[in-house]
A and B are shown apart, each in its own frame.
Chain A
């Protein structure tokens, strides 16, 4: 049984990482919320458009943003640029459907840290989120 649980990852002060989930589909957000809880994080906020994401980011200052690539009003890619502009340390991970590779590349060039492809495979996603967080941790140490 132990093998099935995925280790929880927390900040240095052992408080949980706070996530902002951005996706226009509620179902997708729920799904991703599951992954967040699996690594012991909390969902600090949700947004369903790029514009909303920017506002929410200002408001709650999450540790990590999980951002869908294509959304109404403002595309995820543009939101990435705007968020990074405001907060250079923002940690954004793109969540994209297959076939959006050019957009994902653009998002990464704009400062997104990594990407996860939909349909999200839990273990894989956890692996990526964890590695991004660990890298952040390492950078903070330096």
Chain B
């Protein structure tokens, strides 16, 4: 690839650009993370090396794409990094801020590139600041080559002797740096071929990294000390192998490298780090393939159709068997079908794992948010993360990020107290936010917990009344669990004044909506002065869900398993009619019950679910039906019970969007016998239940 972009078609260039943008933003994220780490432990040399590597990668990649602004500022930042490495500078908040300005400006540049914006990003301020740091500290620039020399102390005595003897025998000693062609895979073989070529001309004293080692595949360049009679031009020619080597640099070797030839020691040493450390961030692309998410979705769709087809086949085989009894052809068919099932299940799992990404992609941004906000709010906060490697569907990761960040901001802004206040309460000055993610069945659970002051429920009640959301007597009687739910109501904030943070972006109501859209559930637990915990449950993937299938009337329905809190058997006696609505006592609260079979016969738009529920309740308490199943569904702190006629059970459902305007049934799936199951959307379902059109029925009946 190199800088040879002129031969590419527009399309190729565009593809390159996209992959550059993706990689560069990944590197920026990693960089942010590493800066935070380094800020915390400035003595961690590995951390600094990583930062150097990321910045170097950014510099190289942007330069080869011709994005000079970015490569220039990266280059300037490398100077600072170099000084840190040489201990001419020490890490402090000033430098931390400088690093983050770099990250921000780079991100801005990437955005502009992405959007094709012609606006130049002003990097002048950043460069001035970098210059200030450098001019303040750089008296001894001449010493900067010491490092290089140190590098050569790795030569064994024998190697040093080889070089010395060669010089005496008037042979030339060169240092050759060969950058690999980006597309070269099997670099070990490539290096082997170069080494063969060189061996014909002289003797390689040592290779860095060792071309026999595994790490060679990760290296983007190799470095040789070479003794030869041949002249530079011939060496260069022999080092240039199509598809293997890119840029070749040949310089006379000397133990004390004269200035000029090695004026950029940093790349060389970072190359060494790579070889030693093994993993190089910039080489992820060698083993991974970037695929348009739409393509994966398409495959997922097809797999879904195959699965449906196969389950229909099973059904037919069963029917055939019933009709024809034992028959060889049928048992063959059964076996084939069984094989199908196995490969299909495997295929489905594989395709699903392609879509799975660690939640870390979202969590990466958190340390930065905490850093910035704790400075802004003058609070001290530390972050503890667990289970960042937990994987979930990319589609969900893309959507859940912002809501999580909002909760995090909320926790710092409203949860964690000021250090002095914490001290007075006998707490540590530093507040802790703990994020824990883990799988539970087919769900992922994300918990965000702070050890702050907790949510003041009394205040919430008051606010709720003031805002006209609830009446005073309701507020007084409302159980705590329910009152907490008020935080998800738009326009309610427990902070005494609306702060910059809580006023920005989305509110808690939007958080609830986003979680609901993902067919998930959000819950809050709070204890005064101990802290608040948000628990978010999400399905692992959106394309295939675990659903609870049931029959109501003659129709099949399903709710996502993740939104069902409990499935209960109820006796007729347990159901009482309150306000004309069938209700059930459940965990110390009264919940309204709904029968789908009745409701879907009518136009819920005009009537509202609950009014319908009231109208039909009386007829439905038929004497012969004295027990039934109830699914308790929930969204945030709202609960609703669904009375079902027949419980079919848990099924994996391949969801097909049905785009015909229904808000409560956003998707459907096909069962093995070909029947259609309507998959109900809990959040809109509950919204429908409480819709104002229900008129006489006030929201409060929906406990």
Contacts and interface: CB of A to CB of B under 8 A. Distances in A.
Q: Consider the complex of A and B and state whether they touch directly, i.e. have CB atoms less than 8 Å apart.
A: yes
Interface in A47-85: none
Interface stretch (A11-19, A22-30, A98-106): A98-106
A132 B241 CA distance: 9
Contacts of B193: 108, 114
B196 A101 contact: no
Contacts of B189: 101, 104-105, 108, 115
A128 interface: yes
Interface in A99-142: 101, 104-105, 108-109, 114-117, 121, 124, 127-128, 130-132
Nearest to A103: B189
Contacts of A121: 183
A126 to B, nearest CB: 10
B9 interface: yes
A116 B186 CA distance: 9
> Is the interface on chain B under 10, 10 to 19, 20 to 34, or 35 or more residues?
10 to 19
A96 B190 CA distance: 13
B8 interface: yes
Contacts, number: 41
A98 B188 CA distance: 11
Nearest to B185: A117
B528 interface: no
Contacts of A4: 9
B192 interface: yes
A127 B244 CA distance: 10
Given A104-B189, A108-B193, A115-B186, A127 B243 contact: yes
B142 interface: no
B242 interface: yes
B117 interface: no
B6 to A, nearest CB: 10
B349 interface: no
B7 interface: yes
Contact of A124 (B8, B186, B196, B243): B243
Contact of A128 (B9, B192, B242): B242
Nearest to A116: B243
Interface of A: 3-4, 96, 98, 101, 104-105, 108-109, 114-117, 121, 124, 127-128, 130-132
19 contacts: A4-B9, A96-B186, A98-B185, A98-B186, A101-B188, A104-B186, A104-B189, A105-B188, A108-B196, A114-B193, A114-B242, A115-B189, A116-B243, A117-B185, A117-B186, A124-B183, A131-B241, A131-B242, A132-B242
The 6 residue pairs across chains A and B that have the minimum distance between CB atoms: A131-B242, A128-B243, A117-B185, A104-B189, A101-B188, A3-B9
Given A3-B7, A105-B189, A108-B196, 19 more contacts: A4-B9, A96-B186, A101-B186, A101-B188, A101-B189, A104-B186, A105-B188, A108-B189, A108-B193, A114-B193, A114-B243, A116-B243, A117-B185, A121-B183, A124-B183, A124-B243, A130-B242, A131-B241, A131-B243
